[in-house]
Homo-oligomer: A and B are copies of this chain.
Amino acid sequence: MTTNTKVLLKHRPNGEPAETDFEIIIDDVPVIEDGQILTRTIYLSLDPYMRGRMSDARSYAEPTPVGDVMTGGTVSVVEASKNEKFEEGDIVVTHTGWQVYAISDGRGVRKLRANGIPISTGIGVLGMPGMTAYTGLKNIGKPKVGETLVVAAASGPVGSTVGQIARIKGSRAVGVAGSDEKCAFAVNELGFDACLNHKAKNFEDQLAAACPDGIDIYWENVAGRVLEAVIPQLNFFSRMPVCGLISQYSMTDPPIGENKLPSLMRAVLTNRTCIQGFIVTDFGKDFKSFISDMTQWVADGKVKFKEHRIKGIENAPKGLLGLLKGDNFGKTIVEVSDDPTA
């Protein structure tokens, strides 16, 4: 390849994003200077947080400027190096976004060593989503033997890992997902104790029935109907790590209707619930223990993962739009170019 395909942010979406908010361009492959490396993206990660970067609302990270390459984590191969820390052929995890080739000074670039686990996990269970699940549970959720954890998006990369770690720690894991097929997968393949389809008419009753001892940990990935169903079931000293709010990301106006804020606050007060927002970088101190524990758990089959693969970087916009609607089934990964380890 002598050209570089890039996906740029063309417009800031108002509400649900569309493919027309992106622009695909063909550019030259960049040339490295002293201290730099040239990487070729093998796998691009698609994640819900990318919706946030498309907007200019105040958040924990700067928005992607209009006209810039969309941000994103990747598993890449070093194609050329003028940096003594990297050699041609190194497989790395980096954050070069939605493009095939990129240059970097090596900062924040992490080498993957062969360990028998597919390299695509570097942006999945052994990467940002896995670390999110691991550190959010360790620092906020704190699952204990016999407790009940509820997590939505239970077949997604964070939710599936949250439920499996909770079970390793002796808690019950009750998943919530958007289809019966995803629910069956969470129970039969991942070992969740139960998993409920939030599209069911009587979802609220099903959730109460699946949590006869109440809810000790609610891992917040989605907000909306799931959060509202959880509030009345919260136990004393319950914890709510707030990791994502995917049902809200494309909301332009808050829905009109019954005001649920008083019910949440009452639950917080009477139960001494802890609600804590976080992002994965808040717990960087835990990276080593995460890699050590999670590599072992994956190798032992205690934590399983599922990938939802999309072929070709030109299909990344469609992949992200599908992810935001819950069309993915597992960790969404774009196959950008050949995997030399496969």
A interface residue numbers (CB < 8 A to B): 57-60, 220, 223, 227-228, 236, 242-245, 248, 251, 254-266, 268-279, 282
Contact = CB atoms under 8 A, between A and B. Distances in A.
B270 A59 contact: yes
A59 B270 CA distance: 5
A262 B58 CA distance: 15
Contact of A254 (B243, B260, B278): B260
B227 A265 contact: yes
A275 B270 contact: no
Instruction: State the oligomeric state as a number of copies.
Output: 2
Contact of A259 (B57, B58, B255, B265): B255
Contacts of A264: 261, 264
B254 A262 contact: yes
B275 A248 contact: no
A133 to B, nearest CB: 16
A270 B58 contact: yes
B262 A273 contact: no
18 contacts: A57-B270, A60-B270, A60-B271, A60-B272, A227-B261, A227-B265, A243-B269, A251-B262, A256-B258, A256-B259, A259-B261, A260-B261, A261-B264, A264-B264, A270-B277, A272-B279, A274-B277, A275-B276
